[in-house]
Structure 1
Amino acid sequence: MNILIDATNIISGGGVSHLTELLFAIDDDKLRRNEISKFIVVGIEPILNKLPNHNWLKKISIPKTKDSNFLKRFLWKKQNFKKIITDEEINLIFNPGGSYFGGKLPFVTMCRNMLVFETEEANRFGFSLYRLKFVLLRIFQSISFNKAEGTIFISKYAHDYISRNYNSINIKNWEVIHHGISDRFRNSVKYQRNIEHYTESNPYKILYVSILDVYKHHDKIAEAIVNLKKRDGFNIQFLVVGGKAGGFSNFEKIREGNEKIIKYLGKVPFEEIQNIYKEADLFVYGSTCENMPNILIEAMTSGLPICCSEKQPMPEFLNNAGKYFNVENVESIYECIKEVILDSEMRFNLATKSTTLSTKYSWDKCASETLQFLAKCGQSK
């Protein structure tokens, strides 16, 4: 079986990490077991350059003059895919980007972004082009799910939410296949000292890694941590790592005048982010819209205790290995973090549980399950 991977819409972020780690985890034995002969990946050159080189992996680059925006890439694909499919004798198309309308060949797609489907969360972006993009993507992905031979979900929550709320979407063949986690994040459980051990010059470091967008609620977490410092006198510091987006301005209002408590580190290259986890004592995660929260899995793997948003799918992954708060309520965040800070034994136990849970997620497992599902879908026609 020859499989074409349509990576034309994979430009940055989690899609790049997934595709790269997936292909690095595939070996000849996995291919042989699933009767797959080769993969052909079509995408933009900077992404293809990140992928491994194997005799079973062929890379076809979109010309630089055609890769600058979605419309140009779409038109190029429309003009060239039929020839690629014929020349490479393709049996199945895998579209990890989420939107593919198909032709005569069976295809497998993925569900990645729940902002496309969770209207209440998408409405946080107000009347904007960003909000319009979610509406259009919902239409495109709904068509894609209905036409696909198979759909990969990366959380059970995503499948259940879409099945429950979108009667027009009929997903006939699906599988939950979790992303893996790189071994560079794996760390032993961090020793947890009593809060009295920490000083102004050596504060207890609370870390949040995530883009500063409206559904990540950095402002509310920052306000709760400032309250912990001012009300209770804890020697703490809030470390924030992530690019600026729609939630940055509200976060900055809280940070203004509290720069000693709140330290914004900006974007850190993904290849170096594991070093940031090693500096922290506690991790907080305040998102209200995720599919599979990869950053949360990174924190679980890093040996840190975690205070987390109670919104699904976070509890699906963190289970009873974290303490939960209502991120819409500053007092709830405050009480949750305070409880954990005051109990070093609880912190250690939570970190031990979450680190153990994180061992379920590996790219080797993701690759094996993905190939099995692709082979099943390809053989069904």
Structure 2
Amino acid sequence: MINKKIKIGIDASRNRSGGAKAHVIGLISEGNPENYGIDEVHIWAFKSLLDSLPDKPWLFKHNPAELEQSLFKQILWQCFKLKKEAKSEEIDVLFTTDASTFSSFSPMVVMSQDLIQYEPGMMKIYGWGKSRLSNIMKLIVQNKAMRNAKGVIFLTEYSMNAVQKVTGSLNNTTIIPHGVGDLFKNKIHLPKESLINKETIKCIYVSNTEMYKYQWNVVKAIAGLRKKGFPVELILAGGGGGESRKMLNDEILNSDPNNEFVKVIEFVTPLQMPDLLADCDISIFASSCENLPVTLLESMAVGLPIASSNLGPMPEVLKDAGVYFDPKDPKSIELAVERLIKEDATRLLSAKQAKQLAHDYSWSSCSNKTWNYLVENIKNL
């Protein structure tokens, strides 16, 4: 092993979401695998993701035709062809960036990025429809992949503990959180010394609608603050559909029938997001289930005062740099935001501490820790 080239494979064929693509881009762009004795990195992904990756002398890009076709054909490729292609390239270890893998390649390291299937009671909120059946299938596939893997990467301690309550103890686990881009860290938000006399207090919640993200409760909370006389407005940035979007639309119709204080922005590009955040006064994050709350991290990096859910890994990430609430209780959300409005010292300290904490999350650290971990797995074979 010492005298031969070290070749790492990356299966990024399922990296379709913005966060998943950002992880692969950060992994390739910010670290240097050659520093860890890696000679070649082979990545399998769809064309648009490969096109967004920089060219490196050690990087070899693979775009099988199936990855541009239906999900069914992508799964068939992963199940039956990926192993052969990785073997033909003499890959030493395959890093799968999504634990929902059907590949039987070994040795393999997988990353856990989906926690819905492991949070008690979370799948029940979807009822017995297509979404719940899909999550049950993911649970079965992920459990098998993680139990068979030579190593498992988690994004937070919370997610590592939650998953292993279901899977049992897993082999060679580690925690390597994702990073936050410099676009957010370099954006300077200066919190107002006082919000009490401000003509408009802008709050923002960045997330697509899901049953566990409770946007409708945030709307209720803001409506409650307006009844108390606070000139609060709410920006909801992120699309969504299904039952969760219907619940949000119904609550907006009920609480803000004249469209006076709730604004929904369906899509915001990564380049636009730092400016949108910096223009607001308070960030609200009301999700009850996250592996690593990336949009929370982005608000932290910009330096916004934050009112956050007290569930999941949010207290692990935000620590003492925010005011917490129960996302299932609109009154709890209302009181948390009210505290940030009325208590200047709390709000200013929250913003300062949050920005400092965000500096611990860098793509350079994520990338280099990942390369080191993969090489250590090869040495231990």
TM band (smaller chain):
over 0.9
Matches within 5 A, 1:36-115: 36-63=38-65, 67-100=68-101, 102-103=103-104, 105-115=106-116
Match of 1:15 among 20, 23, 34: 20
**Separation of aligned partners in 1, 2:57 and 2:292:** 32
Q: Quick one: which amino acid aligns to residue 152 of structure 1? A: I
**Separation of aligned partners in 2, 1:8 and 1:309:** 32
Match of 1:211 among 205, 208, 216: 208
Alignment partner, residue 176 of structure 1: 175
Change (3 A) 1:273 1:189: closer
1:334 positional shift:
1.2
SS at match of 1:238: strand
Equivalent pair of 2:325/2:332 in contact (CA under 8 Å): yes
Equivalent pair of 1:2/1:89 in contact (CA under 8 Å): yes
Q: Quick one: which amino acid aligns to residue 233 of structure 2? A: Q
SS at match of 2:10: strand
SS at match of 1:196: coil
Q: Quick one: which amino acid aligns to residue 285 of structure 1? A: F
1:189 positional shift:
4.6
**Separation of aligned partners in 1, 2:237 and 2:82:** 40
Change (3 A) 1:82 1:314: closer
Alignment partner, residue 377 of structure 2: 377
Alignment partner, residue 149 of structure 2: 148
Deviates more, 1:181-190 or 1:310-319: 181-190
**Separation of aligned partners in 2, 1:125 and 1:313:** 22
Alignment partner, residue 238 of structure 1: 234
| Aligned positions, number | 371
Alignment partner, residue 126 of structure 1: 127
RMSD of Structure 2 on Structure 1 (CA): 1.6
Equivalent pair of 1:226/1:258 in contact (CA under 8 Å): no
Change (3 A) 1:129 1:104: closer
Q: Quick one: which amino acid aligns to residue 197 of structure 2? A: H
**Separation of aligned partners in 1, 2:303 and 2:309:** 19
Deviates more, 1:90-99 or 1:68-77: 68-77
Unpaired runs of 5+ in structure 2? 1-5
SS at match of 1:207: strand
Q: Quick one: which amino acid aligns to residue 181 of structure 2? A: S
Equivalent pair of 2:45/2:67 in contact (CA under 8 Å): no
**Separation of aligned partners in 2, 1:73 and 1:359:** 37
SS at match of 1:312: coil
**Separation of aligned partners in 2, 1:331 and 1:138:** 34
For residues 52-109 of structure 1, what are the alpha-carbon distances to aligned partners after superposition, in whole Å with 9 as ceiling and x for unaligned?
A: 111111111021x653322201222344334422432211101001133554631100
Change (3 A) 1:239 1:88: same
For residues 208-262 of structure 1, what are the alpha-carbon distances to aligned partners after superposition, in whole Å with 9 as ceiling and x for unaligned?
A: 00001111100001101011012x1111100110012342111112222151111
Alignment partner, residue 3 of structure 2: none
Unpaired runs of 5+ in structure 1? none
The TM-score normalised by the length of structure 1 is: 0.93
The TM-score normalised by the length of structure 2 is: 0.93
Give me the identity figure in percent.
27
**Separation of aligned partners in 1, 2:334 and 2:82:** 54
Equivalent pair of 2:224/2:334 in contact (CA under 8 Å): yes
